[in-house]
Structure 1
C-alpha cells in the first residue's frame, strides 16, 4: 500500500509541476498578480508530495519489502540499516527520485526565502524550475518507476553493489545531487531573466547565494567521493579522471566561474551576457553528466543504468532544456548591454582572466571525457583518454590560475597598479622563495615538478594571507593589535573568500604530494615477511579470517616500523571482503594518517605458494587534500552566512524619533 502511495505521489507531483510551469508563466506575461502568486504554494506542494514519494521508497528499503522490484535488485535483508537507507538512492530509479526531490527542494527554498524577489522574476524562475522537474517526472513515470511491484515476491534481494556499502558512499550522492542538481536554480534564474530581458546588479545579488549553496554542496560531494575512492578501492589514488568523476567536476568548474562572474555583474554592471551563459552551461554540464551515467554509454562503478532507450529520453530532455535556453540566449543576449568600463589591470580584469582559465579547464575536461565517445560513434574505434592527457592539458591551466589568484585579489576595481600590488606582495614572494628552497632540498632529486607544485601552493597561501592582512592594516600607521581587532569585524564573505583560496592552496600541496612524491611497493609474501617503502618497513604479521554483518573477510595485520631504527610507528589492518549475497569482493585499505602524509597497506589476492599479494605506499601530504576541501566548504558556508548574501533578508533603517522605519533589501 505504501509503495502505491509513493507511485500516486509521483503522478500528483507531475500534475502540480504542470500547473506550476504554466500558470505563473502566463501570469507574468499578462501581469496577473494572482496567477504569479500561485508559483510559491505550488512549489511547496510539489516538494511535499515528492518528499512523500521519497519517504515511501525509503520505507520499502528499510523494511526489506521484496515485493518492490527496485528493492529486490538493490538490497538484502542482511545489510546494515545505513546501507538499506543509502540503497534508496544507490540505483537508477531511486537516484532519479532523489534528483527530482532536490529540484523541488530548491524551488521550495526560493518560494520561502525569495520574498523580496520581483513577483514576475520569482514566478518565471519557479515556472522554469517546474518545467525541468516535469520532464524528469514524466521520464520516471514512463521508463523508471521506482515502485514497480513483483508477484510473487522472492525471499531475498540481490544486494547493493558492495563497493557502495560504505559510509562515504552513503552520504556522497545526496551532497553531490544538492550540488549539481542545485545548479538548476541558477539556470532557472538565468532563463527567467532572459525572458524578462533584464539582468542587473540586483539579479546577480539574488542568484549568487543559490549558486554558492549548490557549489558548496558540490564541493563537499566531490571531496567525499574522492576520499571514498582513495580508501575503498585499494589503488592508492584519489582521482583517476574517470568520465563519471568528470561529470561532476565539469559543473563545479563552471559554477566556480559563475560565482566570480556574478560578482562583476553585481559590483560593476558588466559581463551580464557572459554570466547568463555560464549559468546555462553549468546546469547543461550537469544534464550531460546525468546522460553519461544513465545512458549506457559508459561502464563504471558510478554508472546507474545501461538502457539505451532511457539514454535517448534523457538526451531529448537535454536537447530541449539546453537547446531551448541557448536559443533564447541567442535571441535576448544582444540586448544585455553592460554599463561598467574597466582596465585590463583591475579586479574586473582579474576576474575575467579567472573565468577564461576556468572555462578553458572545463573545456579540456569536456573534450577528454566525450571525445572517445564521439570517436566510437563515428568510426567504431575505441580509445581511452586517461591521466596523461589531463596532466598535459588541465594541470598547466590550473597552474596559471593559482598564480593569478594570488595577484588578482589584491587589485582594486576599475583600474589597478601592478607595480604597487607587486610591492605589497614582496613578503609573500620571499616566503614562497624560502619554502621552495626547502622543498628543493627535500624533493629535488625525486621530482622537480613537485617542487614547482609546492611552490605554487606556498605562493597562493602567502598571497592570500597578505591580502587579508592588507585589508585590515593597509598602512603602517595602524598597529598590529588594531589590525587583529579589525579582522574580527571583516564581512563573513571576505573570510569565506580567504578560506576558499587557502583551501585551493592546501589542495594543490596535497595533490602534489599524492601524485608526485608517492613511494610504493607491490610484492608478495606471507606472515613474517618484511617490505621496505622509503624510510618505512612494513611487516605482514598475520592474515586472519573475520566475519562482518553481511560478508566474510581475510584481514592482514601490518606492523610499520622505521626502516633504520626499527622503532614501531603504527599497526595497519587491510581486508579482502567477500559478500554473502552475490559473492563479490572488495578491499579495505589499512591507513594511518598524520599531517605529513599517509601509510597505506592493501592485502591483495592469494598467491599459488600460499602467500599474499600486498600493495604498500607512503603518500606524503595526502591528508591536505581533505583539509583543503574542508576549507573550501567552510569558505562557502562563511560566505552564505554573510547577511549581504541572504536572499530577501531585509535591513531596517530610520530614526526612532519619527517612529517610522524603512525596509530596504540587503546589499
Structure 2
C-alpha cells in the first residue's frame, strides 16, 4: 500500500507544480495580488508531497520491500543499512526523485525568503521553479517512476546495490552534486523573472548572487568528493578528470564561476546586465545537459545511469522547451537593456570581462570535446575518441592565462587603474614567484611547463596576500580592526582563489612526480620501490555483510622504520557475482602510499600495484577551500541588509 501512496503523492505534487507554474504568471499579467500570493503555499505543498514520496521510497528500501521493482534491482537484505538508504539514489529512478526533492527544497527556501523581494518578483521566481519541477515530475511519472510493483513474482531477495556505489563517498557525493546542479535553477529563475518583469538592473544581480554562490559551493564540493571517490575506490590510483560524465559537472561549474564574477560586476557597476542574464541561462542549461548525458545512454561511463533512449528523448525535449523558451524571451527583452556605464581597459571591469571570456571559452572547449564524438557518430561518420591529450593541450594554457587575470583583477580599481601602478604591484611578486618555482622545479626535477605553472600559482598567492595587506594597512585603525571590517565576500574570494591555486599545484605535482609499478609478491617477500620497502606479511580471508574477501597485510618501511600498515582487499560480492578491488592507502601532506591487489597468479603469489602519489591531497584540499570561499561569500551580511533594508 505504501508504494501506491508514494506514487499518488507524486501525482499531487505534479498538480501543485502545474498550478505554481501558471497561477502566479496569470496574477502578474492581470495585476491580481491574490493570485500572486498563491506562489508560496503552492511551493510548500508541492515540496511536502515530493518529500512524502521520498520518505515512502526510503521505507521501502529500509524494510526490504522487494515487491517494488526499483528496490529489488538496487538493494539486498544483507546490504548495510546506510547503503540501503543511499541505494535510493543508486540508479536512475531514485536519483531523479532526489533531483526533484532537492529542487523542491531550493524552491521552499526561496519561498520562505521571498518576503525580502519586491512583491511581483518573488512569485515569478517561484513560478519559473514550478515550471522546471513540472517538467521533471512529468518525466518521472510517465517514464521513470520508482514505485512500479514487481507483482506477483516478488523475488526472495534483491539483486544488490552496484558494488562501486557501496562506499561512503557515494553516500554523500550525489546529493552534494545535485545541490549544485539544481541550485543553479534559482539563479536561472531570477534571470527569467528579471526578463519577464523588465527589472534588468543591479537589483536582480544582488538577489541572485548569494544563491549562486551557495550553489557553486555545493557543486565544488560534489566534484571534489567525486574525484576523491574515484581515486581510492576504483583501485587504479587515478581520478576521473576528463571522463565524459565528469565533464558534465565541470561545464556548469566553469559557467557558474563566470556567472559569480559577472553578477559581482552587474551589482556593483551596473554593467554586463544582458551578459549576466545569458550566463544564468547558460549555466542552468549545462546542468540540464549533464542530466541528459548521464541518463540518455549516449555516454558510457562508470558514473552514467543505464537508461533507455526514450528517456533520453524526453529529457532532450524538456531541455529544448525550457532553454529554447528562455533564449526566446532573452532575445525579446535583453536587447532593450543598456549599461550606461563606461570603464577603462585597465579597470577591474575589464579584468573580470577577460576572466568571463576565458571561462566561457574553457566551457565551450570541454563541451566540444565531450559532444564531438557523439555528433560524429550520430552523423554516421564513424567513431572517434576525444581524450586527455586534447583537453590538456587546449585547456591548460587557457587555465594559466585565467589565473594571471585572476591575480591582477583584485589589485585593480573600478573604472580604471594606472598601468604603472599595476606594474609596480606585480613585478616583485613575479620575480619571487619565478625564483620559488625554480627552486621547487630543481628539487623535484620538473620540466619547463611545470616551472611556468608553479610560477603563476605562486604569483597568484603572493598578489592575493599583497592585496589583503594593502587593504588592511590603509588608514589609522590598525591591521586587526581593518581586517575585521573587510566583508565576508572578500575573504570568500580570497579562499576560492587560493583554493584554485592549491588544486592546481596538486594536479601539477601528482601528474609529474608520482611513481608507480606492478610487482609479483608472495607472503614473506619484500619489494623496494621509490625509497620504500613493502613487505607482504600474510593473506587472510574475510567475510563482510554481503561479500567475501582476500585481504593482504602489508608493512611499509622507510630507512628501517615502519611508516604504514596497508591492507588492500579483493572482494567478491555474492549477489552480483562481481569482483571488486579495494585499495589501501596511507595519506600524507606531500605523498600518498597506495597499494591495490591485482590477480592471483598462483597459490602463493599475487600481482600488486604500488603507487607513490605526490601532493595528491592538495587537489581535494583546494576544492574544500573553494567550497568554503563560496559559502563565506553567500553569508556576507551586506546581501541581507541591502535587500531587507530596501524593502523595509
The TM-score with structure 1 as length reference comes to 0.94
- Paired residues for 1:548-627 under 5 Å: 548-562=544-558, 565-608=559-602, 610-627=604-621
- 1:429-482 per-position Cα deviation (integer Å, ceiling 9, x unaligned): 2431332122122123x533333332222221111111111111147xx59xx2
Q: Is the 8 A contact 2:227 2:241 kept in 1?
A: no
| Selected match of 1:633 from 627, 632, 638 | 627
Q: Is the 8 A contact 1:425 1:466 kept in 2?
A: no
Q: Is the 8 A contact 2:18 2:131 kept in 1?
A: yes
Q: Is the 8 A contact 2:202 2:270 kept in 1?
A: yes
Q: 1:419 to 1:540 in 2, by over 3 A?
A: farther
**Structure 1 equivalent of residue 18 of structure 2:** 18
Between 495-504 and 193-202, report the one with greater CA deviation: 193-202
**Structure 2 equivalent of residue 437 of structure 1:** 438
Asked if 1:188 corresponds to 2:189, the answer is yes
- Paired residues for 1:446-525 under 5 Å: 446-474=446-474, 482-525=478-521
- 1:221-255 per-position Cα deviation (integer Å, ceiling 9, x unaligned): 11001000001001111233111111111001001
**Structure 1 equivalent of residue 3 of structure 2:** 3
* Partner SS for 1:599: strand
Q: CA deviation at 1:531?
A: 3.1
**Structure 2 equivalent of residue 154 of structure 1:** 155
Q: CA deviation at 1:608?
A: 4.7
**Structure 1 equivalent of residue 416 of structure 2:** 415
Between 346-355 and 601-610, report the one with greater CA deviation: 601-610
Q: 1:572 to 1:453 in 2, by over 3 A?
A: farther
* Partner SS for 1:141: helix
Q: CA deviation at 1:127?
A: 1.0
Structure 2 segments unaligned to the other structure (5+ residues): none
Between 72-81 and 594-603, report the one with greater CA deviation: 594-603
**Structure 1 equivalent of residue 39 of structure 2:** 39
- 1:361-395 per-position Cα deviation (integer Å, ceiling 9, x unaligned): 11110011110000011025112111111100111
* Partner SS for 1:409: helix
Asked if 1:369 corresponds to 2:370, the answer is yes
**Structure 2 equivalent of residue 404 of structure 1:** 405
Asked if 1:642 corresponds to 2:636, the answer is yes
Asked if 1:69 corresponds to 2:63, the answer is no
Q: 1:418 to 1:543 in 2, by over 3 A?
A: farther
Q: Is the 8 A contact 2:117 2:647 kept in 1?
A: no
Q: Is the 8 A contact 1:236 1:617 kept in 2?
A: yes
Between 172-181 and 121-130, report the one with greater CA deviation: 121-130
Q: What is the rounded CA distance, in whole Å, between the counterparts of 1:270 and 1:485 in structure 2?
A: 32
Q: What is the rounded CA distance, in whole Å, between the counterparts of 1:13 and 1:211 in structure 2?
A: 26
Q: Is the 8 A contact 1:116 1:648 kept in 2?
A: no
Q: What is the rounded CA distance, in whole Å, between the counterparts of 1:590 and 1:435 in structure 2?
A: 34
- 1:553-600 per-position Cα deviation (integer Å, ceiling 9, x unaligned): 1112222222xx333221212111111211212222111111112111
**Structure 2 equivalent of residue 531 of structure 1:** 527
Q: What is the rounded CA distance, in whole Å, between the counterparts of 2:274 and 2:339 in structure 1?
A: 8
Structure 1 segments unaligned to the other structure (5+ residues): 652-663
* Partner SS for 1:594: coil
* Partner SS for 2:612: strand
Asked if 1:544 corresponds to 2:540, the answer is yes
Q: Is the 8 A contact 1:61 1:85 kept in 2?
A: yes
Q: What is the rounded CA distance, in whole Å, between the counterparts of 1:266 and 1:48 in structure 2?
A: 34
**Structure 1 equivalent of residue 328 of structure 2:** 327
Q: Is the 8 A contact 2:118 2:647 kept in 1?
A: no
* Partner SS for 2:116: coil
Q: Is the 8 A contact 1:198 1:336 kept in 2?
A: no
Q: Is the 8 A contact 1:364 1:394 kept in 2?
A: yes
Q: What is the rounded CA distance, in whole Å, between the counterparts of 1:80 and 1:649 in structure 2?
A: 47
- 1:311-361 per-position Cα deviation (integer Å, ceiling 9, x unaligned): 111110011011111111112121121121101211101110110111111
- 1:184-207 per-position Cα deviation (integer Å, ceiling 9, x unaligned): 111111112112222111110001
Asked if 1:318 corresponds to 2:312, the answer is no
Between 369-378 and 578-587, report the one with greater CA deviation: 578-587
Q: Is the 8 A contact 2:211 2:634 kept in 1?
A: no
Q: What is the rounded CA distance, in whole Å, between the counterparts of 2:601 and 2:198 in structure 1?
A: 69
* Partner SS for 2:300: coil
Q: What is the rounded CA distance, in whole Å, between the counterparts of 1:552 and 1:453 in structure 2?
A: 46
**Structure 2 equivalent of residue 219 of structure 1:** 220
Asked if 1:103 corresponds to 2:103, the answer is yes
**Structure 2 equivalent of residue 252 of structure 1:** 253
* Partner SS for 2:379: helix
Q: What is the rounded CA distance, in whole Å, between the counterparts of 1:628 and 1:552 in structure 2?
A: 37
Q: What is the rounded CA distance, in whole Å, between the counterparts of 1:174 and 1:458 in structure 2?
A: 34
- 1:503-522 per-position Cα deviation (integer Å, ceiling 9, x unaligned): 11111111111112111112
**Structure 1 equivalent of residue 116 of structure 2:** 116
Q: What is the rounded CA distance, in whole Å, between the counterparts of 2:16 and 2:330 in structure 1?
A: 28
Q: What is the rounded CA distance, in whole Å, between the counterparts of 1:220 and 1:240 in structure 2?
A: 15
Q: What is the rounded CA distance, in whole Å, between the counterparts of 2:419 and 2:613 in structure 1?
A: 39
**Structure 2 equivalent of residue 92 of structure 1:** 92
Q: What is the rounded CA distance, in whole Å, between the counterparts of 2:565 and 2:123 in structure 1?
A: 60
